[in-house]
Structure 1
Amino acid sequence: MPVPSNSFWEQWLTAHRAKPDACVTLSLSPPPPLQDFLGELDPCLPLDWSGEDYQGLPSLRENVLDCYGYRFACSVDDVLITAGSQEANYLVLTQLLGPGDELVIDTPGWQQPLVLARQIGAVPRLVSRSEESGWALDIDQLEELVTSRTKVIFICNPNNPTGRVEDAATLHRIIAAADRVGAHILSDEIYRGLEWMGKETPRVATMYDRGVSTGSVSKLLGLQGLRTGWMVTRDRKLLAEAMVLRENTSEIMNVMGERIAEIALRPERFGGAVERSRAIGRTRIDLLDRFVAGQPALRWNRPAAGLLGLAHLDLPITADNFAETLLAAPYRTFVISGTAYACPQHLRLGAGGVSLTEFKLGLERMAQLLAACA
């Protein structure tokens, strides 16, 4: 059956067509230019598949293990390179879920698994995140929702869109619930590395035999256009089945994406790039936090990780109406309404993806609309 449309996609498409002047909803670290990598690219590189390994460039997989902290529990054979974390999630969910199977998923959270579950005919079981508790996952509710019909528990950790990070103690309870019924845990860890509160995000693939961690070079390094990500799991059967499915969809990896990503994850580059992203990101989040604090109509839980958070809109209009008005003239600024996450009175505020000048322009125009609506 066709993939159902959703508010998240529709808002993105509308904004893309509107060509706004500013944006305050993106979560991407500043992207480096191609010229930063040209000196280390082989100009004789054939623009065909590298032919080295169907799981992805071996040196890139080695770098993923080292840079993202999987090495102590996982090997290079536990890594599959994919077209971003989106494809990694897709490969896992479509292999594990069938009609009538249950998917336990956090809400508000990343919408892709919900879209795929509905397309497959699986049954989503939603676990609430509480704004009053800093968007903490209701782990007691999750444990109650896990049954013999549960095939996958999905979490986005750090969470999109709240920036919440679930700690190891919570992850151990999720693992116990999954292990009780033989379920897999799929943990989208794409914002890992952008933690602001000093707590490192746990890696599910290192903690559970049926755990899958997905990620990419998009958010932390700003390399979204490479479409290069990965899934890491010690479940070799699942990884092999994912390769079969990929052979019949995207087939093989983008050789240029793999080569540039491999360069970006070399130890002599990676540390400096992370420091740059974190320094810029912290400055942007601080600016956004001060903006929210100065607006009577907004309140939020400052994100513990990543470059986005959900802000409650305390006005006599919905977030949809506010976002639509902000996108139109004279404001011409894009912000995502919380309806994309079933939070109709919230706005997804993001501090990444654009220049500082554009970001500040977006905040200025949002402040103008907030004042006009008060």
Structure 2
Amino acid sequence: MKVKIHTLFEYLLETTEAQPEAFIGFSLSQSPVLGDFLDDLDPNLSLDWNGRSFRGLPELRAHVLREAGLDGICKPDDVLITAGAAEANYLAICQLLEAGDEIIIEKPGWPQAEVLARAKGANIKVVERREADAWALPLDDLRAAVSSKTKLIFLTNPNNPTGRLLSVQDLKDIAEIARAVGAWLIVDEVYAGLEWNDARAPSIAGLYERGITTGSVSKALGLQGLRTGWMICPDPDLIMDAIILRENSSEIMNILGETLAEIAMRAKRYSAAIEVARADGRKTLEMLDAFIARQPLLSWTPPEAGLIGLARLGGYLNGEEFAKKLLAPPYRTFLLPGSAYEQPNHIRIGAGGGASAQLELGLRRMQTLLETLG
């Protein structure tokens, strides 16, 4: 199994040494610092693994179920703590898919599933979200795409990278589409908790017996560096298969990641952090929306949730060429081109990062570049 690089990561590798001064692309909330957690850390904490469960700290798994709205629906042993949502997706996809199996993915969407499916030799079907429909997932297209050969469906909710939300009814309908052919259904929820006008959508693990919810503390809580996420699934065999695969890769979770994530997800602390993240996100998204409305060469459908969205470039402009011009002197501002999601005429706009992103500076520089190109 040879895993080939996807465009998003390739672009990040190419630009890591550019030393930008401003960012219009941060995809996570402002990160806390270690000092914020010191009062709750035990200085005698062993730096061995947690010593209690291969599934992750029981307290952390309880927090995950609470915030996913799955208390009383799923059991603590239905949760496996992983090295971020990326590992959770990896474990599920690699254990479920074999060569020749069929997987259905969405585009634009998180590219990891397609990369892994190609490496496994699976057959890939794509359901296209359309900008003209405000990036809604076309359920009729999904229904038409499934077949008796469909082994797995992979979606994101909120959608990564457009921020479009699936409704409760959407999720129920999707579960029925999967159930009709016995397909597994992964819904990556890394941006859950940052809904701007609606309540958090229900997790698929509570709606479907073959539903797999993945998530992490990376985006809403800004704790990407902890590499702590989870998989939730009511099927015990799937969870055990994932534990077995992880035993032969990352083996066990890092104790600091588990411990800090558990502290961060304690009910009062989590609620306070999410309230701050939502307030900051709303303020920044309003600024971005106003900025885009003033630019003749930009348009977008604002995200319904999460911290990123896709903006269309007008005229002849190409997203990758534009991103490289903006990164170079004198602008020295980073954003991700839409080509990372096979949307070459778009750029990804991010509202995360807090003050360190220097977003207003970056927007001024982007406006200057747009004026020179217009």
Q: What TM-score, normalized by structure 1, do the two folds share?
A: 0.98
Q: State the distance in 1 between where 2:247 and 2:117 align.
A: 21
Deviation track 1:231-277 (CA, whole Å, cap 9, x = no partner) reads 01101110000000000000000100101111111112111111111
Q: Which residue of 2 aligns with 1:164?
A: 164
Q: State the distance in 2 between where 1:91 and 1:338 align.
A: 27
Q: Which residue of 2 aligns with 1:353?
A: 353
Shift of 1:2: 2.1
- Counting only pairs closer than 5 Å after superposition, residues 1-374 of structure 1 correspond to structure 2 as 1-355=1-355, 358-374=358-374
TM superposition outliers: structure 1 runs of 4+ over 6 Å? none
Q: State the distance in 2 between where 1:63 and 1:170 align.
A: 26
- Cα 1:357–1:226, aligned 2, differ >3 Å: closer, same or farther? closer
Shift of 1:200: 2.3
Q: State the distance in 2 between where 1:162 and 1:317 align.
A: 20
Shift of 1:365: 0.8
Shift of 1:25: 1.1
Deviation track 1:304-360 (CA, whole Å, cap 9, x = no partner) reads 001110001003231111111111111111111111111110011101125266111
Deviation track 1:9-44 (CA, whole Å, cap 9, x = no partner) reads 111112212111111112101111111111111101
Deviation track 1:167-195 (CA, whole Å, cap 9, x = no partner) reads 12111221111111111100001100100
Contact residue 311 and residue 348 of structure 2 kept, 8 A: yes
Contact residue 111 and residue 341 of structure 2 kept, 8 A: yes
Q: State the distance in 2 between where 1:267 and 1:195 align.
A: 18
Unmatched segments (≥5 aa) in structure 1: none
Give secondary structure in 2 for the equivalent of 1:311: strand
Deviation track 1:192-224 (CA, whole Å, cap 9, x = no partner) reads 010012242221011000000000111111111
Contact residue 192 and residue 220 of structure 1 kept, 8 A: yes
Q: State the distance in 2 between where 1:28 and 1:72 align.
A: 30
Q: State the distance in 2 between where 1:357 and 1:248 align.
A: 38
Deviates more, 1:273-282 or 1:1-10: 1-10
Shift of 1:88: 0.3
Q: State the distance in 2 between where 1:158 and 1:12 align.
A: 23
Partner letter of residue 145 of structure 1? A
- Cα 1:305–1:206, aligned 2, differ >3 Å: closer, same or farther? same
**Aligned-pair Cα RMSD in Å:** 1.1
Give secondary structure in 2 for the equivalent of 1:99: coil
- Cα 1:212–1:357, aligned 2, differ >3 Å: closer, same or farther? closer
Shift of 1:148: 1.2
Shift of 1:131: 0.7
Partner letter of residue 325 of structure 1? K
Aligned residue pairs: how many? 374
Q: State the distance in 2 between where 1:314 and 1:219 align.
A: 30
Partner letter of residue 326 of structure 1? L
Deviates more, 1:245-254 or 1:285-294: 285-294
Deviation track 1:132-170 (CA, whole Å, cap 9, x = no partner) reads 111001110100110111111111000011000011211
Q: State the distance in 2 between where 1:309 and 1:63 align.
A: 28
Shift of 1:3: 1.0
Give secondary structure in 1 for the equivalent of 2:17: helix
Shift of 1:86: 0.3
Report % sequence identity: 50
Give secondary structure in 1 for the equivalent of 2:37: helix
Q: State the distance in 1 between where 2:27 and 2:345 align.
A: 20
Give secondary structure in 2 for the equivalent of 1:132: helix
